[in-house]
Structure formats: C-alpha cells, structure tokens
Chain A
Amino acid sequence: AQSVTQLGSHVSVSEGALVLLRCNYSSSVPPYLFWYVQYPNQGLQLLLKYTSAATLVKGINGFEAEFKKSETSFHLTKPSAHMSDAAEYFCAVTFTDKLIFGTGTRLQVFP
C-alpha cells in the first residue's frame, strides 16, 4: 500500500538558516510526489511537484526538493529561511486518482 511519512511534526529554525523538511514514501509503482504549504485557516497551496522528469524540482518561494528513488525520499529544502515561511507543510503521493498525505510538519522561524 502507498504511504507517506513526514519525520518531525515540528521543526524550528532561525531566520536565514537552512530549512530541511523530511518526507519518505512507500509506493509499488512510480509515484507522483507533491509538497503543499498551508497557512493558518487557509487551504493548501502547491509548492512543487515531481512527475518523473528531473529529480531536482524547484518550486515557489525558493523551495526545492530532490527525488531519491534509492532512499524513497522527497525532502524539501530552502537555503535561507524567512519569517514568512512559518506554516504547515504537507508531503503527498499519488499513483491513481487519490492523494495520500503525510501528517504534516509545522515550521517555526525565529528571528
């Protein structure tokens, strides 16, 4: 069965520091992978997606993620955190008509 695991329900970084949010997936077929961001009391906004083209995917707001098949990972990174990056981040996988979400990682950014 397909599944997604996000390691760390909370991550805290200082402004200007590297952001690393971890996502591992389980899939018996080549997956499509997504990262979404959610600000308080809002819907989910797509950050980036992997659809079997380039393994390094660039998204909005300076985020990027690398698909590593050998590690079944799709970790999200940003070189320098900004206060406005504070939000909840969801990794998701799809291989059919449905998305399977991880439980989310809340990112806090300290000045």
Chain B
Amino acid sequence: DGGITQSPKYLFRKEGQNVTLSCEQNLNHDAMYWYRQDPGQGLRLIYYSQIVNDFQKGDIAEGYSVSREKKESFPLTVTSAQKNPTAFYLCASRGTRRETQYFGPGTRLLVL
C-alpha cells in the first residue's frame, strides 16, 4: 500500500522542549516537503528536500530543523526557538519536477 505516513497524529510539547515529527513515504519520490497550516493562512512551506542529504529552507524555517538521511524519511524537529508552534503540520512528497505533491495525514502539535 503506497503512501505517506506521519506520526504521531497528535503531539504535545512542553515549554523549552524539542519535539520531532515523523514523515515516511514508500512512493520512491525524490522530493519531500514540510508545511505548516494555521487557520485562514493556507499552507506555508517550512523546509524541502529534493535529494538525500540535501535540503533548503522554505518561507518560515526559523525555529525548525530537518534531516534527510534516507530517501524514504524526512523528519521535522520543532525546536524551543519556535515560540508559536501550535499548528497542523503536513508532509508531502513529489516524484518528477513540477508534478503532483501528495500529502500525508498530518500531525497536530499542541503546547502544554
């Protein structure tokens, strides 16, 4: 069953804590993306990666970090520097250039 999985579905962060969101795909896609979604603001790009061991900042990268050690995996860490992390986080992947991005089910991050 091909697709994109994200875990956990809900994540709670305490003040000053780093948390990591998982994103895995078995579509053999080269490119992967992380978006943040807030009500009324659409989707904003955090980071993206077009190939293993390489990634680029998106529009709102401050307070976030990523790694791309495997083609299938693109985890996102929300660091303590991100002062307003409460949001819905979506991971996506894409095959060839300019083709469709496919999305995972999302992770909702809440602050305790």
Contacts and interface: CB of A to CB of B under 8 A. Distances in A.
B48 interface: yes
A103 to B, nearest CB: 4
B41 interface: yes
B90 A104 contact: no
Contacts of A94: 98
B40 interface: yes
A44 B103 contact: yes
With most chain A CB atoms within 10 A of its CB, the pick from B45, B97, B101 is B101
Nearest to A46: B100
A104 B44 CA distance: 12
Contacts of A32: 98
A102 B42 contact: yes
B48 A43 contact: no
Contacts of A46: 100, 102
B105 interface: yes
A82 interface: no
A98 B88 CA distance: 19
Contact of A95 (B50, B98, B106): B98
Interface in B24-63: 31, 33, 40-43, 45, 48, 50, 58
A109 to B, nearest CB: 20
B108 interface: yes
A90 B106 contact: no
A97 B42 contact: no
B42 A44 contact: no
A42 B105 contact: yes
Interface of A: 9, 32, 34, 36, 41-46, 49, 51, 90, 94-99, 101-104
Interface of B: 4, 6, 31, 33, 40-43, 45, 48, 50, 58, 88, 90, 92, 94, 97-98, 100-106, 108
Given A36-B103, A90-B43, 13 more contacts: A41-B88, A43-B4, A43-B104, A44-B90, A45-B103, A96-B97, A97-B97, A98-B33, A99-B45, A99-B101, A103-B41, A103-B42, A104-B42
